Amino acid sequence: MSRPQSLQRSLSRNLTIGPILLGAILLLTSVLTYRAVLNTIAAELIDRGIAQMNAAFIEYLHPVQEIVELSKAFGLAGKFDGQPPEQLDLVFGPLIATVTQVSSVHLARASGDEYMLMQRDDGSFYNRLTRGAEPGWIVAREWTGNPVPAGNASRERVASDYSPLQRPWFQKAMAAFEASATTGGAERLVWSEPYTFFTSREPGITASVAYRTPSGSVEVLGFDILLKDIQAFAERIELRESGAVFVMLRAEAAQDLMVLAVPRNLPASSSGASAAPLPRPISTLTGPAGTLVTRLFGAGVPDNSEPLRFSAAGEIWWGAVARSSIATDKEVWIAAIITERALLQGIPDLSLITLLAVLATVAVMVLRARRLAARYGDPIAELVTQTERMARLNFSRPTTIESPIYEVQTLAASQDAMRRSLGALTAMNDRAAIARELKTLPEERREGRAGDWQVSICDSPLGTVDGIYAMCWPVVKNASQAW
């Protein structure tokens, strides 16, 4: 059996458990609601950033895919067979001048012949002509102004070990062409892995396609895109103040994701500016970008992920990755990250106010519970004390309990009436006992020898004997008559 405890303590404990538990539930609910709201905001903002980048990236590459298909249609019709460079200038010059994503265009044949036209950053044009029958030499043409030279192009024969047959875009397109010939499928556009362009010495990717012309020869079209242009394009997609979106491409050879564009508005340690230039594996990323891709890709290729909350560069970040829906033969991933501080911009921080409000409410409820416990417990404790006095036959102290509770007042009145009744009953019993005892005494004892005595019963207890009625022996005259 458990140890008994006072009513006040029991009431105080049980009445305070409720407010404390309620306060804990309110705080836990507030925290969970806050996290859920923050997760929703992060998901919406990050998903929007990824969707914007995905749509913009598709829009960015779509013109390239269109001109590849358009040029392939010309090639399938034999429009490029036997054409001199000047005629090819009329086709490809306006194309690369209009579609600014393309830095250069290639038209190569399995024989090793190639026509390449490139537009430099300063707006000038460079044309390289390669003949498979003359290995080790190229013919270089340069001009400024219009995409189509108006007789102002310089021409020079230059020694070079360049061969289109050794370039990644050519080899990949030919491999896809041979595969489609085996399966009977149509020629398809393929994207190279990031590599360094031969002429500009800058990294980029190439969209290429191989097909057979009416004359029976195999031609390969390639359109180059510089990674710095993709980088500049990606930087235009902003995610509030500190957020950023970056693009990754699956590299088959390295079995790793290659970063095509890293936002510059991340901390210096994040972009890895001191590391290898783009493209580079995601394993070389540091800071929040590196933490995100390591966490999400560490166990393999993730599904389109939910927002991940993590700490990096001294701040709390949220991030997610999603596979792009762009129609390429490559696996393109888009990642977005943003600081929690930026997520909460414009949202008032009510956490401290909520905490103080809950604590104040709990404190008031606890104090009220303790007062209620005292209000009900104190009168009951006084009744118990009075009962203990009465058990010791102490009926001298009246039961005076002030309480607004009707039941307590009734109990106090009943106990006081019982006190008076028990006091009177005890006095009567004492008198009767004394009388019986006196009757049993011998006659000489009753009348006494030393004088006249009168035996009587006291109506009140002796002062020093608490609650005990005793015999009194006052000295009187004519004791025998008094008896």
Per-residue pLDDT of the chain (483 residues; tens, 9 = 90+): 456 656 666 666 666 777 777 778 877 777 777 777 778 888 888 888 888 888 888 888 888 989 999 999 999 999 998 899 989 999 999 998 888 889 999 999 989 999 999 998 888 899 999 998 888 889 999 988 887 887 777 888 889 989 999 999 999 999 999 988 777 667 788 888 888 898 888 888 899 999 999 998 999 999 999 888 887 777 777 777 677 788 887 766 555 677 776 665 555 444 444 345 667 777 777 778 888 888 877 656 666 567 888 888 788 888 888 888 877 777 888 888 888 888 777 666 666 777 777 778 878 877 877 777 777 777 777 777 878 877 777 777 777 777 777 777 788 788 778 878 887 888 888 788 877 777 776 665 555 443 444 444 444 444 434 444 444 444 444 434 333
- Tell me what pLDDT residue 302 has: 62
> CA 483 → CA 85, 189, 442, 455, 475, distances in Å?
161, 140, 14, 8, 13
pTM score over 0.85: no
- Euclidean distance between CA atoms 483 and 476, whole angstroms: 11
C-alpha torsion angle, residues 343, 345, 351, 353 (rounded to 10) = -170
Output the pLDDT for position 449: 40
Amino acid at 98: T
pLDDT at 300: 60
Which residues, listed in sequence order, are joined to residue 337 by a DSSP beta bridge? 244, 319
What residues are paired with 157 via a beta bridge? 139
Helix axes 227-234, 7-76, angle to 10 degrees: 140
Dihedral sign from CA coordinates of 90, 91, 96, 98:
positive
Residue 203: enclosing H or E segment and its boundaries? strand 203-212
Q: How many Å is the Cα radius of gyration of the chain?
A: 51
| Residue 437 DSSP one-character state | H
Within a 10 A sphere around the Cβ of 8, how many other Cβ atoms?
Answer: 19
Neighbours of 25 (CB within 10 A): 11
Q: Which pLDDT score is estimated for 367? A: 80
Contact in structure between 148 and 94 (CB atoms under 8 Å)? yes
pLDDT of residue 331: 80
CATH 3.30.450.20 domain extents, the chain: 77-229
Measured in degrees and rounded to the nearest 5, phi and psi for residue 134 equal -125, 70
Q: How far apart are CA 187 and CA 386, in angstroms?
A: 106
**Quick count: other Cβ atoms within 10 Å of Cβ 163?**
17
Which H or E element spans position 110?
A: none
CA 63 from chain centre, in angstroms, equals 38
Supply the pLDDT for residue 444: 57
Q: Tokens in use for 264? A: 């510059």
Amino acid at 116: M
Q: Supply the pLDDT for residue 114.
A: 95
User: What are the phi and psi torsion angles at 117 (to 5°)?
Assistant: -125, 130
| DSSP string for residues in 206-226 | EEEEEEE-TTS-EEEEEEEEE
Which segments of 340-481 are extended strands (E)?
Answer: 456-457, 471-472
Q: What is the topology classification, in CATH, of domain 77-229?
A: Beta-Lactamase (3.30.450)
Query: Which amino acid makes up residue 436?
Result: R
